Chain A
């Protein structure tokens, strides 16, 4: 669907809105299925687990665990979770820990203004969105619950790139962040991360293929499951090159050969990056999504994450980002006009 929105606000809005307090009141609609005992895995005609459907991967679980929770990977129950949120809201990062930030707070390419953009006004996010229940304290799993540090040389490179961008941010369209240019939204991955709004994806399974379309920004990943090798490594892609196979009832997808401009959790990918994803349908409406990012030229060690996505009714709509990107011309002409003053 066309959205005539100033695109310059979009990337920033995604960042700012996900930490908006409205998320705390979002209804938890997916409950652990009581009928799990009698549920059997639905299968496609060729016998594979049937993952097909439209899913929301919106979540209130932050990417990184708030420091004050230490190694606590799960809340004990909803009351525990609510108490923690209240504590964070009251303390605002006091007691040595930052307030929880909701998922997808990692900026695609850095730089950020605080822009108010209340997606609940447009029925795009906030309490209107169905989310899978979760007692996780962070999407990143393990005792640390956050992405490891980047290698020192990568940190330096990121800082330098950021400084350059700050100084030249309005020079041309090519100087704007990828999301603003409508090339990638920064959350397509893999690993696929929840987006501030339209955090929706569709899975279709054909013979020998699993296709995943993410609404933001109409990106399709077609994953062959016929055992073929990766394409030649000269071919770099914005979402990498994915091949998959089934391990029991789990779809395992391995992705390499990313375009070097791709950013995962704030860091540029290297040519050594490998991301492994696991899709497991666990009940009538839930898929557990797990991922591991292994990029020894970028990160000090690999890291893994997990969240649930929940089936939703209704279809995926067309997000024609580039086609409606009036913000790009407006921003650049604004910058040129400002220079003349």
Chain B
């Protein structure tokens, strides 16, 4: 953040020649506060128009922290399903775990084949659903904004009216939204403790409170920011941010990834009458 501010404050003749380069670097900086002033097109009722099919294009799915490439958890899958390196999406790079929580993350990682809720086709939760390698669609209604995710058919209904309270915890949480300038700000509460942040076992408790910001930074990109608060697991609030990109295919649409079918063998295969032969070594 400080770096970004410094760059944007630099002015004068010195920078004329490098202005283009500076803009480029600004664009990849994680904070939308410093994003070039872009005025989003509006819907007919005057709201920033976020309608569209969006997708992250980064490696947060594997690990939200900076990480080098490493071998995947099933060696027989070789190079095809190993982990690509990523710069990370956590501001500052580090997740401020309490010591015992950091130990649990390591345990989660070690046992990820057994524990990762993604393997079981459980709904991804917030914010993980945003940067899984599947598109999601924003359908911007007048009183409610719907976000439908291709992965597991998960869906969120963002209430844009007077804030309401969740009746119970859930996988995708309870979302109340409002506009701040061109940003859609969503307050997400009542998330359960069963989702993760990524495939690396980064985790949270049921005290998780997420504040999301979706800010248009160009006709085909949003800056996504999620402020994470969970006093049971972290020593302080922290933030992740990343651009999201519009799917520009002419016939872009959300398809189905109803993954229950793909998870049944790993969940229930050991309870089969006849063991499944020759299809992987999951059980």
Contacts and interface: CB of A to CB of B under 8 A. Distances in A.
Interface of A: 1-2, 44-46, 50, 52, 170-174, 181-183, 202, 204-209, 211, 213, 218-220, 222, 224, 228-229, 231, 235, 237-239, 315-318, 320, 322-323, 328-329, 332-333, 335-336, 339
Given A46-B44, A224-B253, A332-B268, 17 more contacts: A50-B142, A173-B264, A174-B264, A183-B258, A202-B144, A213-B155, A213-B157, A218-B153, A229-B251, A237-B256, A238-B256, A238-B258, A318-B171, A320-B122, A323-B194, A332-B271, A332-B272
A263 to B, nearest CB: 16
B241 to A, nearest CB: 25
A331 to B, nearest CB: 9
Contacts of B144: 52, 202, 204
Contact of B146 (A173, A213, A336): A213
Given A183-B261, A208-B51, A237-B255, A222 B148 contact: yes
B142 A52 contact: yes
A244 to B, nearest CB: 13
B139 A211 contact: yes
Contacts of B49: 207
Contact of A207 (B140, B192, B251, B267): B140
A207 B51 contact: yes
A317 B167 contact: yes
A84 B45 CA distance: 50
Contacts of A205: 139, 141-142
Name, among B122, B144, B171, the residue most crowded by chain A CB atoms within 10 Å (CB to CB). B144
Given A209-B139, A211-B139, A322-B122, A220 B155 contact: yes
B141 A1 contact: no
A238 B182 CA distance: 36
Contacts of A52: 141-144
Given A183-B258, A211-B146, A211-B148, A206 B273 contact: no
Given A172-B268, A208-B51, A320 B170 contact: yes
B154 interface: yes
Contacts of B15: none
Contacts of A182: 260
Nearest to A205: B141
Contacts of B142: 44-45, 50, 52, 205
Among A1, A211, A316, A329: residue with most chain B CB under 10 A: A211
10 contacts: A172-B268, A206-B140, A211-B139, A211-B148, A219-B153, A237-B255, A238-B258, A318-B170, A322-B121, A322-B122
B159 to A, nearest CB: 7
B271 A218 contact: no
Interface centre among B122, B152, B253 (most CB of A within 10 A): B253
Contacts of A231: 251, 253, 255
Contacts, number: 141
Contacts of B273: 170-172, 335-336, 339
A90 to B, nearest CB: 41
A204 B141 contact: yes
Contacts of A237: 255-256
Nearest to B255: A235
A183 B264 CA distance: 11
B260 A206 contact: no
B18 interface: no
Interface residues of B, number: 52
A237 to B, nearest CB: 5
Among A174, A317, A322, max chain B CB count under 10 A is at: A322
Contacts of A172: 264, 268-269, 271-274
A218 to B, nearest CB: 6
A231 B269 CA distance: 34
Given A173-B267, A323-B194, A207 B256 contact: no
B123 interface: yes
Nearest to A334: B271
B172 interface: yes
Contacts of B148: 211, 213, 220, 222
Nearest to B155: A220
B202 interface: no
B95 interface: no
Interface in B6-58: 43-45, 49, 51
A328 B264 CA distance: 10
Interface string B102-146: 000000000000000000011100000000000001111111111
Contacts of A218: 153-155
B254 interface: yes
A141 B264 CA distance: 39
Contact of B122 (A50, A323, A339): A323
Nearest to A339: B273
B164 interface: yes
Given A220-B146, A336-B273, A315 B157 contact: yes
B80 interface: no
Given A174-B264, A320-B123, A2 B140 contact: no
